[in-house]
Chain A
Amino acid sequence: MNAREKILARISEAKPDKAALSHHLENHPRGPQPMDFDDLKKRFAERALKLSSDLVEADQLNLAPGLIANYLQQRTLPMKGVCWPALNHLPWLDSGLDIEARPAWNEDMVGITGTFCAIAETGTLLLLGGEKTPASVSLLPETHVAIVDPKRIVATMEDAWDLLRRECREPPRTVNFISGPSRTADIEQTVTLGAHGPYRVLLVLAP
């Protein structure tokens, strides 16, 4: 017997009711859910700010680069960075931004991504990694800018899973829930923003 067989042999379980177990898988029932949120966008914004993210709103997607440029300028951050190839079509240059569409490298200071959806309950973003949406863009740079479509704000993580099941055949290699800038409280349990990931996260709500 190899290790696998030995471990499985030790797991002395009553004969599984296979039908019940696959029923659970197929129906994937939810646990207790939070109370309904009246206004998903409002709730999302409140929670995101609480997580130390910054937030601006654009009337249309094409105006997002201008708002991002403003934000970077105000904070004297570099006007240069990378974006998801999926966002290459936005008018970056017109707003004075020098943005390359590719995965992020260590030197990149600003990373601009979209979001698969956002979660109102906790103010969280859900990003899927993929060919046009590399995960490094939201991770390596010190500033992460995420464009969020207000129509794609869902109430809970469970709603996000349903959306994922509907729109993707299977989860991509990386599914990342992001809730504000990276942080650590390892030294004296004091929360410090900017650990190994971004120091700041700007959310741009844009349809």
Chain B
Amino acid sequence: MQNASLDFKRQVTVKLADEKLQQALSRLQSRFVEGRSAVISEIHDLQETRDAATRIRDRVLNNLGHWLLHFEEQATKRGAVVHWAETAEDANRIVVEIAKQHDVKTAAKSKSMVSEECGLNDALENAGVKVVETDLGEYILQQAHEAPSHIVAPVVHKNKEEISDLFANVHGLPRKTGIAELCREAREVLRPAFLNADMGISGANFLIAETGSALIVTNEGNGRLVTTLPRVHVAITGIEKVVPTLEDASTLLRLLPRSATGQSITNYVSMLTGKKKETDPEGPDHFHIVLLDNGRSSLLGTPMQEMLRCIRCGACMNHCPVYQNIGGHAYGWVYPGPMGSILTPLLDGIEKAPDLPNASTLCGACAVVCPVKIPLPDLLRKLREKQLALGLRPRQETALLGIWSWLALHPRAYALATRIAVRAMKVVGGKEGLLHRLPGASGWTDGRDFPAPEGKTFREMYRERS
């Protein structure tokens, strides 16, 4: 997917003024935030479980090579073919080749953020393979030619009326207005896609090293259909998704759906191992697993490694006051919210997303809800430091921060400067006591007035009292 993060600031203004989007986002807040808090307490030792999940992910990341090789060995034993892709383009090329090799004309796809990361659909379509998204949300987006705005609820930015219009338009059927009717219509339109597809494409929430399996967490059943009916199954996922054992996966599964949608468990958890055996009455004749690196391995052993613990639950964005106000599209790439503000610069280039690490108040809500305890605010701060070190911040900002840091290190000069500043500000603030403009802080004063100081610094007042 093309990265449009450079346009972040302009997008924010647009999104804040979009009333429909604002309504949609408030729904997300009530359903997902309240939903999570209602079921997360079912886990009686939540903190211990989060710690255990964190250790599981760390164990994998500290020996990723070992676990990947073990996974590959087990998967291969069961007849799967494991492919390694360094970049998104490589992954696309591999899947296109698989399609050609098996003479694939149509593919049915269940939701996969890694395939969005690669822009896989376009690559397949360019190679003459018709791709049908079958997750309801992704299907709606494919028909509307839009990108997902949330990693779990991709179409959260659209309301029912828009979807009614869209379906009436593309299906040519009488316009439905109820949500259940819309779902039924999509089901009926999509059934043939499953039955006729030559290839099924899925992601994988986890890869189990012990058994060489791909584990998929879904609600709709489309993940099961695309991995059962077509004669070829391709699972595409990131190299970091491997976990050692079935028990490790179970611990993560206690947290993932609860954190994501407020469900104790998703409707389906499907574990797929190898290709169809001779005695199996159904299932794919070929099973390919594509492991995508795309910048992930370069984070290992760096202070950013912790980000690779992410299990893509979306809780950080659901709880983020910035995401809650601007939605996912403003972030410009596949991954929005706090995790996206870290992943986008890390995977796609720090210079391509200058605003994202700064699009956070560092309130810390994301770190509190993250099931694998990723210190998201710390990582955002580290990225800001890196931006500064690389000279990627605006010159004025860097200069102001330079002055500030010099003053902060020179107490006498600091006292003098603040004494002058508060007095000057009091004068400019006038009777109202408000400043309409502040040099170097127009981003703040454009939207609101700055209350003027009353004429004395804190230190002066402190001295008077003591």
Point out residues on A near B: beta carbons under 8 Å.
Answer: 2-4, 6-8, 10-14, 16, 18, 21, 24-25, 28-32, 34-35, 47, 51, 102-103, 106, 122, 124, 129-131, 134-136, 139, 156-158, 161, 170-190, 192, 194-198
**Are B221 and A182 closer than 8 Å at their CB atoms?**
yes
**Are A7 and B273 closer than 8 Å at their CB atoms?**
no
Q: A25-B70, A139-B228, A188-B179 provided; 8 other pairs, C-beta below 8 A?
A: A11-B64, A25-B209, A158-B246, A174-B273, A174-B283, A177-B270, A179-B267, A197-B220
Contact of B160 among A6, A51, A178, A187 (CB under 8 A): A187
**Beta-carbon contacts under 8 Å, B307-343 to A:** none
- Residue pairs across A and B with CB atoms within 8 Å: the count is 241
Q: How far is the CB of A79 from chain B (nearest CB, A)?
A: 23
Q: How far is the CB of B54 from chain A (nearest CB, A)?
A: 11
Kindly list chain A residues whose C-beta atoms are within 8 Å of the C-beta of B267: 51, 178-183, 197
Kindly list chain A residues whose C-beta atoms are within 8 Å of the C-beta of B27: 188-189
Q: How far is the CB of B215 from chain A (nearest CB, A)?
A: 9
Quick one: given A25-B209, A135-B228, A197-B221, are A158 and B250 in contact (CB under 8 Å)?
yes
Q: How far is the CB of A97 from chain B (nearest CB, A)?
A: 22
- For the complex, what is the distance from the CA of A102 to the CA of B281, rounded to whole Å? 9
**Are A32 and B245 closer than 8 Å at their CB atoms?**
no
Quick one: given A177-B268, A185-B153, are A13 and B220 in contact (CB under 8 Å)?
no
**Are A176 and B219 closer than 8 Å at their CB atoms?**
no
Q: How far is the CB of A116 from chain B (nearest CB, A)?
A: 12
Q: Could you name 6 residue pairs across A and B whose Cβ atoms are closer than 8 Å?
A: A13-B300, A130-B280, A157-B250, A174-B228, A174-B273, A186-B153
Kindly list chain A residues whose C-beta atoms are within 8 Å of the C-beta of B78: 170
Kindly list chain B residues whose C-beta atoms are within 8 Å of the C-beta of A157: 250, 253
- For the complex, what is the distance from the CA of A175 to the CA of B239, rounded to whole Å? 22
**Are B247 and A31 closer than 8 Å at their CB atoms?**
yes
**Are A186 and B245 closer than 8 Å at their CB atoms?**
no
- For the complex, what is the distance from the CA of A91 to the CA of B261, rounded to whole Å? 42
Quick one: given A11-B297, A134-B281, are A30 and B247 in contact (CB under 8 Å)?
yes
**Are B268 and A176 closer than 8 Å at their CB atoms?**
yes
**Are B268 and A32 closer than 8 Å at their CB atoms?**
no
- For the complex, what is the distance from the CA of A47 to the CA of B209, rounded to whole Å? 31
* Nearest-neighbor residue (CB-CB) of B181 within chain A: A192
Quick one: given A131-B281, A161-B250, A192-B179, are A185 and B187 in contact (CB under 8 Å)?
no
